[in-house]
Structure 1
Amino acid sequence: MNYKLLGRSGLKVSQLCLGTMGFGTEGGWGADKETSFEILDAYADAGGNFLDTANVYKLGTGEKIIGEYLTNHDRDQFVIATKYTLKDNNTNANASGNNRKNMMRSVEQSLQRLQTDFIDVLYLHIWDHITPIDEVMRGLDDLIRQGKVNYAAISDTPAWVVAKGNTLAELMGWSQLIALQVEYSLIQRTPERELIPMAKHFGMTVTPWAPLGGGALTGKYLRGESGRVKAESNRRDANSERITRQVMAIADEIGATPAHVALAWTTQQGFSCIPVVGATNVEQLKDNLKAADLILSSEHITKLNDVSKITLGFPGDFFNEDNVKVNSFGGFYDKVEKR
């Protein structure tokens, strides 16, 4: 396992992040505590150190399992990322959302479940469309100053909100957001319209969730296998199947699995990207970790980019028009370095 810097920080994290949303059996699926411990052992043995969880995963069981695991292991070996926003109870109107009250309450409870004094990376989980972003940024900075959180990050939030938050933080001397977690895969490339360009500008690492499209990109549904993704989902529509068949063809050609190919693609797109890879058994984890060693050729990257290409809409497609390039660069477009 190699290590990458998380955003514009000096924090070193493994190139594949272990998603722990499946730790716990609530909801009729997932890994029990013993299996979760085995997954954590295998991940650590491979050099992995980056764990992704949230206050609501498996009704809090996910954090509890990690906390119990850490009581018998070196806490400082791991970079623990958790999230706040979503409700963990229905007691009052402020038991959910991005507001400071819920942030502070959620963090205290996550610290208890994780049995630790600090959270390495705290994500805002989902934007609530009502809390001022300056309230969020000041709250995150206060937690960092208190030593309860080391770094701030954000998930599932419009690009303009994230950009405003980081700009305010820079102006006010607050801690900036270093990572952006969004759904991103070969069958979900719409973050390329605004979110990923914004992340590149601010030097944020993108940590995609569902990099395998809920398992669709492994080809299991085309093989007639069962899974949690419903047949009417856009992860299993004609376009997704077309993309998956190309992934499977390349996998066959190079002697890899479709999962390896799909994961490797996310890390070779020209920006800092650490996919969040979930597992509910050790064999699944060990197989996914093999993607860390796979480097796709430029030819294969081109094939995958072409089969999964999306329209950028306005202004992205407008900027790519030849006349716009000529008028904006005076005939020097191909001779000027691009950021």
Structure 2
Amino acid sequence: MQIRNLGGSGLRVSAVGLGCNNFGQRTDLETSRKVIHKAIDLGITLFDTADIYAGMGGSETVLGTVLGDRRKDIVLATKYAKPMATDGTRQGASRRYIMSAVEASLKRLKTDYIDLYQQHEYDALTPMEETLRALDDLVRQGKVRYIGNSNFPAWRIAEAEMLARQMNVGRFVSCQDEYSLVVRGIEKDLLPAAQEYKLGLLPFFPLASGLLTGKYKRGTDAPADTRFAKAPALKDRYATARNEDIVEKLQAFAQERGHTMLELAFSWLAQRPQVASVIAGATRVEQVEQNVKAVGWTLSAEELAEVDRSTK
């Protein structure tokens, strides 16, 4: 497993990360345990969760239950800011909320510190200065090692960078955003911002909810046990005529070179600027094994150019 620095920081993470949103939700405790241990055995070090995953804390609770002594072997990342209550009292990025949210996550995760604490979305109701000062205090207290953001627009990333410099506080070292062969919108503004400010990019939904695995056939119903069948809204979002055209081109491209769609999707992302680790979930041990193997294809400059022509 290749290990990379997360942006301009000294934090090093595996090129493939494990998305933990399935734990406590789509996978039971015993299955989650097998997936977690297999991931560590295969060299995955970055485990990415959030307080809202799996019913308000469910994923963090599973990780805290399973990791035990292996906690020291991983980079544990979680998130705050999205609603943890329906009345609007437990969300956002105010000092008051951050200080309570981190304690709750630490308790569920059964750990003394979080390696990467990420703001899950921008909070327009809280001054960025207040958020950055609170996060810096957590770093100084040893409860958090590094801080990152997720789903921020590019100009908010620039704002946070400038304020951190002015205030002489810790800065974001990463950004986590959707990015794949069929979702490339961040290339216009956000990716250049990440490059300018040396933020490590952690792309999520690398397979566009399964579209880029090649398992969905155009003009046919999705298999009963798949995400598209269980969540028609996902199918409507990703299985557009444009995206299906792209998938057909990419399938032919990969097959001609003796590779799978999964290998193309992961390896392409792994070669993109600023990408530190490709975040991918798994509900079975076999999926973890496939994800780890999928980043082994180094595409040539000519191949990357052909992929660009097929996906834009």
Query: TM-score, normalised to structure 1's length?
Result: 0.86
Q: Which moved more, 1:123-132 or 1:47-56?
A: 123-132
CA offset at residue 89 of structure 1? 2.3
Equivalence for 2:135: 140
Partner deviation per Cα, 1:35-90 (whole Å, 9 max, x = no partner): 1111111111111111000001002111111111122x332211000000112223
**2: CA distance between counterparts of 1:297 and 1:123?**
34
Looking at structure 1, the residues matched to 96 and 142 of structure 2 have their Cα atoms a distance apart, in angstroms, of 18
Contact preservation (8 Å) 1:250, 1:261? no
CA RMSD after TM alignment:
1.5
- Which position in structure 2 is the counterpart of 1:266? 269
Give 2:255's aligned amino acid: D
Which of 293, 296, 300 is 1:297 aligned to? 300
Mapped pair 1:74 → 2:77: no
Q: Report 1:115-126 matches (<5 A).
A: 115-126=110-121
Deviations 1:98-121 (A, max 9, x none): 222221111111000000000000
Q: Percent identity?
A: 38
Among 95, 102, 109, the residue aligned to 1:114: 109
The answer as to whether partners of 2:161 and 2:172 remain within 8 angstroms in 1 is: yes
Is the Cα–Cα contact under 8 Å of residues 154 and 193 in structure 2 kept in the other structure?
yes
Return the alpha-carbon distance in structure 2 between the equivalents of residues 6 and 270 of structure 1.
12
Alignment of 1:242-257 (within 5 A): 242-257=245-260
For 2:244, the equivalent position in structure 1 comes to 241
Cα drift, residue 195 of structure 1: 0.5
Question: Residue 18 of structure 1 contacts residue 276 of structure 1 at CA under 8 Å; is this kept in 2?
Answer: yes
Alignment partner for residue 45 of structure 2, among 46, 49, 60?
49
State the distance in 1 between where 2:193 and 2:154 align. Answer: 6
Determine whether 1:157 maps to 2:156.
Answer: no
What is the one-letter code of the residue matched to 2:289?
K
Q: 1:5 deviation in Å? A: 0.5
Q: Distance in 2 between matches of 1:293 and 1:76?
A: 27
Contact 2:18 2:47 in 1 (8 A): yes
How many residue pairs get matched?
Answer: 303
Question: Is residue 16 of structure 2 the alignment partner of residue 16 of structure 1?
Answer: yes
Maintained 8 Å contact 1:243/1:304:
no
SS in 1 for 2:65: helix
Q: Give the SS at the match of 1:292.
A: coil
Aligned residue among 43, 62, 66 for 1:65: 62
Q: What does 1:217-236 correspond to in 2, within 5 Å?
A: 217-222=212-217, 224=220, 225-226=222-223, 227-229=226-228, 230=232, 233-236=236-239
Identify unmatched segments of 5+ residues in structure 1. Answer: 310-339
- Deviation, 1:130, is 2.1
Contact 2:250-2:310 within 8 A present in 1 as well: no
| Mapped partners of 1:257, 1:276: distance in 2 | 18
Cα-to-partner distance string for 1:234-268 (whole Å, 9 max, x where unaligned): 31101111111122112212222211101111122
Q: Distance in 1 between matches of 2:61 and 2:259?
A: 35
The residue type equivalent to 2:63 in the other structure is I
Distance in 1, matches of 2:85 and 2:60, equals 16
Q: Is the 8 A contact 2:60 2:109 kept in 1?
A: yes
The answer as to 2:182 corresponding to 1:187 is yes
Question: 2: CA distance between counterparts of 1:242 and 1:205?
Answer: 31
Structure 1 residue 136: Cα displacement: 1.3
Bigger Cα Rg: 1
